């Protein structure tokens, strides 16, 4: 017998997993992760949609899309003037992107008068989940209405972080926010994983914070570690994910390994049937 939970899981087998790449701390590698993971998952045969939820539009330029002011973006979707199907673009790297530009900064104010404003992105994605295996959301470095839309639309969050002292403090705030969103707006939201980025193994503090992270979050911490690698920083200026820029670089290899690890996790979650039913971290 499958039970209700099992039936729901079977029904979701072919639906996209929606992952919000989020951390309210700036410059921790959210966009680098969202763009490169999209490219690596696509390389492994997955159908991927990358949604840029940041008015900075870094994910948009990072995959070679020019941020023209007239470009229809995620902004038009949030305010109900367009659909994702009409707005997404096909990149030359095997995945689709829903672009953003600085117009999106106005969404915060425009959404004030719109009913159910936290659910705009989730509602826009209904009907598209069968077309993709993964939808990745590149969130801005703030806990604002754009991020809330991302967290409400997502099944789970991926948290990139640098292993430095203040990262742990920021993480406590983020986990508290996720619990609030889970309690009030999106009861199924889980932590998919914590990703150590810009890792420098020579630093004692980095090693220490990394161990603390594993101690507290256990298997939620990805085995794959993203090293500090200059090719990852250079690739966006060519409008390319790193696997299209320098495939043999350590950065490209690390993001390919991460994509494989995520696929393994997904396969084993399907094998076990149900999700944990919790955020998956200690209180
Ligand atoms: N592993 C890495 N090695 C070297 N440089 C990196 C690495 N990951 C990211 N960077 C660089 O660090 C900077 C910040 O990264 P990124 O833009 O991905 O962070 P972010 O969290 O999206 O920032 P924001 O909070 O502003 O959106 C960028 O210049 C990026 O190229
Ligand atoms: Mg970013």
Query: Cα separation of 71 and 100, whole Å?
Result: 8
Helix (H), strand (E) at residue 197? strand 190-199
Work out the pLDDT band at 276, boundaries 50, 70, 90.
low
**Pocket of ligand 1 contains residue 213 by CB under 6 Å:** no
Nearest to 118, CA basis, from 156, 150, 70: 150
How far away, in angstroms, is 31 Cα from ligand 1 center? 7
- pLDDT tens for each residue of 88-144: 999 999 999 999 999 999 998 999 888 899 999 999 999 999 999 999 999 999 999
pLDDT for 108: 86
- For residue range 160-201, list pLDDT tens digits in order: 999 988 888 889 999 999 999 999 999 999 999 999 999 999
Ligand 1 mutation pick, 21, 27, 56, max ligand atoms within 8 A of CB: 27
**Paired tokens of 33:** 């992760």
Residue 214: other Cβ atoms inside 10 A: 14
- Closest residue CA from atom 11 of ligand 1: 233
How far, in Å, from the CA of 164 to the mean position of ligand 1?
Answer: 15
Cα of 54 vs centre of ligand 2, distance in Å, is 7
Residue 126 lies in a domain: yes
CB of 226 within 6 A of ligand 1: the answer is yes
Is 18 part of a structural domain of the chain? yes
Whether 36 lines ligand 1, by a CB cut-off of 6 Å, is: no
**Does the beta carbon of 141 sit less than 6 angstroms from any atom of ligand 1?**
yes
Looking at residue 258, its pLDDT comes to 98
26 lines ligand 1 (CB under 6 A): yes
Q: Is the CB of 32 under 6 A from ligand 1?
A: yes
Burial class of residue 262 in the structure, from the number of CB atoms within 10 Å of its CB (0-12 exposed, 13-18 middle, 19+ buried): buried
Nearest atom in ligand 1 to 229's CA: 3
At 68, the pLDDT band (50, 70, 90 cuts) reads: confident
Q: How far is the CA of 26 from the centre of ligand 1 (A)?
A: 9
Q: E strand or H helix at 48, and its extent?
A: strand 48-52
Query: Within a domain: residue 9?
Result: no
Q: Which of 45, 22, 33, 129 is nearest to 95 (CA)?
A: 45
Of the residues 22, 25, 29, which should be mutated to test ligand 1's pocket, given the most ligand atoms within 8 Å of the CB?
29
The whole domain housing 64 covers 14-269
* CATH code, domain with 20: 3.40.50.300
Q: Is it the case that residue 283 has pLDDT exceeding 50?
A: no
What is the number of alpha carbons within 13 Å of residue 130 lying toward its C-beta?
Answer: 3
Is residue 186, in this structure, part of any structural domain at all?
Answer: yes
Is 147 touching ligand 1 by the criterion CB < 6 Å? no
Q: Is the CB of 220 under 6 A from ligand 1?
A: no
Q: Does the model's pTM come out above 0.75? A: yes
Query: Could you report the per-residue pLDDT of 224-245, keeping only the tens digit for each?
Result: 999 999 999 999 999 999 999 9
pLDDT digits (tens, 9 = 90+) for 210-228: 999 999 999 999 999 999 9
Ligand with an atom nearest the CA of residue 242: 1
Q: Is residue 137 part of a domain?
A: yes
More confident residue, 159 or 279: 159
Query: How many distinct structural domains can be found in the chain?
Result: 1
Asked if residue 67 is part of any domain, the answer here is yes
Ligand that lies nearest to the alpha carbon of residue 142, given by its number in the listed order: 1
Q: Cα(225) to centroid of ligand 1, in Å?
A: 15
Whether the per-residue pLDDT at 70 is higher than 80: the answer is no
pLDDT at 11 exceeding the cut of 60: no
Of 26, 86, 92, 22, the closest CA to residue 62 belongs to 92
Q: Is the CB of 241 under 6 A from ligand 1?
A: no
* Percent above pLDDT 90 for the chain: 80
* pLDDT given at position 160: 98
Q: What are phi and psi of 27, to 5 degrees?
A: 65, 30
Instruction: Collapse the DSSP code of 97 into the 3-class scheme (helix H, G, I; strand E, B; otherwise coil) and give the result.
Output: strand
């Amino acid at each position: 017998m499958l039970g209700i939970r099992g039936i729901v899981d079977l029904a979701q087998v072919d639906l996209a997993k929606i992952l919000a790449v989020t951390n309210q701390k700036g410059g921790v590698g959210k966009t680098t992760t969202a763009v490169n993971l999209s490219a690596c998952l696509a390389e492994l045969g997955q159908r991927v949609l990358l949604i840029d939820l940041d008015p900075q539009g870094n994910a948009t330029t990072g995959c070679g899309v020019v941020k023209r002011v007239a470009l229809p973006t995620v902004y038009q979707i949030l305010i109900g003037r367009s659909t994702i199907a009409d707005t997404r673009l096909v990149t030359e790297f095997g995945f689709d992107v829903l672009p953003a530009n600085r117009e999106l900064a106005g969404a915060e104010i425009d959404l004030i008068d719109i009913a159910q404003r936290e659910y705009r992105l989730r509602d826009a994605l209904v009907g598209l989940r069968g077309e993709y295996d993964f939808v990745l959301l590149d969130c801005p470095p703030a806990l604002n209405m754009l991020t809330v839309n991302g967290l409400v639309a997502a099944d789970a969050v991926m948290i990139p972080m640098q292993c430095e002292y203040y990262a742990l403090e920021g993480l406590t705030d983020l986990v508290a926010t996720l619990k609030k969103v889970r309690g009030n707006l999106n009861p199924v939201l889980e932590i998919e994983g914590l990703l150590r980025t810009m890792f420098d193994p020579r630093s004692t503090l980095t090693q220490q914070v990394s161990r603390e992270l594993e101690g507290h979050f256990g298997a939620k911490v990805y085995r794959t570690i993203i090293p500090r690698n200059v090719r990852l920083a250079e690739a966006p200026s060519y409008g390319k994910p790193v696997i299209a820029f320098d495939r043999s670089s350590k950065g490209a290899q690390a993001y390919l390994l991460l994509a494989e690890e995520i696929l393994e996790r997904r396969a084993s979650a399907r094998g076990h049937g149900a999700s944990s039913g919790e955020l998956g971290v200690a209180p």
